[in-house]
Structure 1
Amino acid sequence: MTDEAGTAPSRRALIGWGGAGLALGAAAAGGAAAALGGGADDTETVADSGAAVPFYGAHQAGIATAVQDRLHFAAFDITTDDRAELIALLKEWTKAAARMTQGHAVGGGAVSDLAEAPPDDTGEALGLKASRLTLTIGFGPTLFKNKKGEDRFGIADRRPEALIDLPAFPGDNLDAARSDGDLCVQACADDPQVAVHAIRNLARIGMGKVAIRWSQLGFGKTSSTTPDAQTPRNMMGFKDGTRNIAGTDTAALDKHVWVSGKAGPAWLAGGSYLVARRIRMHIETWDRTSLKEQEDVFGRDKGEGAPQGRQHERDEPNLKAMLPTAHVRLAHPDSNGGARILRRGYSFTDGTDGLGRLDAGLFFLAYQHDVRDGFVPVQRALARTDALNEYIQHVGSALFAVPPGVRDADDWWGRALFS
């Protein structure tokens, strides 16, 4: 990234986080500006060109945007009770995000004439391009009223009805240290260092006002919003996300992803709801399972990715040709009253668990217009009878209301909520 608002130099070669791909269960159209704005609805063009994703627009980028290769997701706890301080932070974060997503350094950059003071930017992305970086913010239930029932910022009455406390699902083994949060920021990029740099700088700017509650690195996108692209494979070796909502399907996005002014609070119109779930996979058990059982578990052919009873990956599934416990059958909209969600999940590997088993799985990210007729009914169906449950466990969970996009340089993340 450059210190000045010019074209970033060529990126250097980097070693990534390593990886494979993974998907499972159910995963913005960027905005309207050329540098810090411009037309970004054509997500396929953005992905192919490698250009910076526009920051300004009706919806936040990083939702319907063509899915990038890497993720750094962070949930924050707010450590101040001062409303004015929080608003000032959101304004500063917005300004920094607008610069970083276009390949520019934060503030005065990583190198300045004042050697006695810390630089404005941490500097590890110097010389790197924007790498299609997107930064997407969300607000958790505890922003509106904390666990003690305190309305710290005078917005308790503005909490959306759909921003519910997610119900407990059978088989959940949730770690409180990897769940919830007052705020979240999803950083997606094609370069892992660019994504990490973005979260690091926001955390640095917020020091004394926010603290990272938990975070997750991800690699190997597990779903695609560009249906003409090759479908990613998950760490179990299966294609998943074949039927994901396309980033160019305006009608489906309006129906299933974006909050309308009629169905939700006015401040959230054009936004969405994000479910984040850390799903641990029992890799070693899966690797000793026969191919036939693996295919029966998913309801798909492992090689081609075709639904059972069909020949090609994108053939319309014959749900009756699958076992009643098949993952695809249970997750299909026809089995859930037409419920659809937009997935943006990533694989993760976080070393071993101390018993020699790989701590790996899916970091599941799903956007929808209302979790009550999106994630919740689908997950209830999966949690009860999905054959995949033998090989996975949900260990972290969070829900966030994702505000609409930032319209211009005078706007900021969450402005309508605090106005």
Structure 2
Amino acid sequence: MLTAVTGINWGDEGKGRVIDLLAENADVVVRYQGGNNAGHTVVTNNCKFVLNLLPSGILHPDVTCVLGDGMVVDLDHLENEIESIREKGIVISPQNLKLSKHATISMPWHKIQDELEEDRLAKTGSAFGSTRRGIAYAYSDKYKKKTLRLGDLLHLDKPHIQSRLKTMLEYKNLELGGCYHQAPMSYPALLSWCEKKAEQFAPYITDTGNYIAAALSNHQKVVLEAQLGAMRDIDYGIFPYTSSSSTISAYGPIGAGIPGTLPDHIVGVLKAYSTCVGAGPFTAEKAMPEKWMESLRKSGGEYGAATGRPRRVGPFDAVASAYGLKCQNADKIALTKLDVLSHMDEIPVITSYKLNDEIITEFDPLDDLDSMTPVIQMLPGWNTDISKCRKYEELPENARKYIETLEHLLNHEIQFISVGAERNQYLTKGEWL
């Protein structure tokens, strides 16, 4: 069975939490796009893990984790992340971690270029809110055919690979020197870096598409793990304030290396309120006073897992969420962090937008979203701890009404609800996986 787990909003919806639970019964977990700008937080046995490149299934000893074809991989970051996870007692080896030979390498200069350009844009107030980890530049060079893939590290002694390295270095020195007045990088240093990474990661690099296809043929359970959410998709998001890859579930099999396979289930993950890291239009933050938003931010611990930046927050946005749900084509919905709202006397929900005197109910990323204001419905809070609830019927009546209001606005049942950060603090209703 193939299950894709995707974000319906701007990212940071709690996908890592959902994948960690699904991994308990999975055989393979695959990251299929993005890079180390992802930040999935999982809490288990009072230990907090922040994962950037490693799939959330790495915390399960019987799960094989894959970094798929569609990813850009910063090997320096991966080395440090593996070491950090190992220090917490997690075993990582070529038996439980496999790197696609088709995945793109995030070269050392990509991060440098990202930082230089974001600093330049910041001087004019037009920065994109990049994580400064080189993701856009790695993808850009991928489509320019001016970078390496992981499988190339296995053939560094071949003349055609060395010729490509020299060509791309010459190009990059021209680009960084001409645009940013940077000193040129040397070929011997670049080749030495590649050789070191080849020695470290060669045992992990393989044809992961064949591996996943074989797992599915053997009736194993495979979970596809997305980074970010629909609003950050390169094609369907709030361009240009997006990621540089496709976060949409339809891309999942392509980025995983099994392009002819369709998911059996698509889980769309929503947070019980809205959050956003990075620049771009975010109508939800106009809904409530700053004091309300700061209280929500502190209650929910809303700081970026990858960057530590305070997240922009606001009420649940049904307009944006309905659009994200349509993009992801999810048949299952997981709602996270419902417990964070438990202290509120009243809880706002955005039911539509307003532009001048016009009511907007359909989200369009090409609209003038910055000029829109949210239309709010206030719902009664429940003012009680729900972290011990394990059945839907155990939730306070107003908590159930809140969920049912969201279901009505989305025209879709919510089957999974998290009521705390710990692994066992959740409940299901309807037909879950």
- Common fold by TM > 0.5: no
Determine which structure has greater relative contact order: mean sequence separation of CA pairs < 8 Å that are 6+ residues apart, divided by chain length. 1
**Bigger Cα Rg:** 2
Structure with the largest fraction of helix: 2
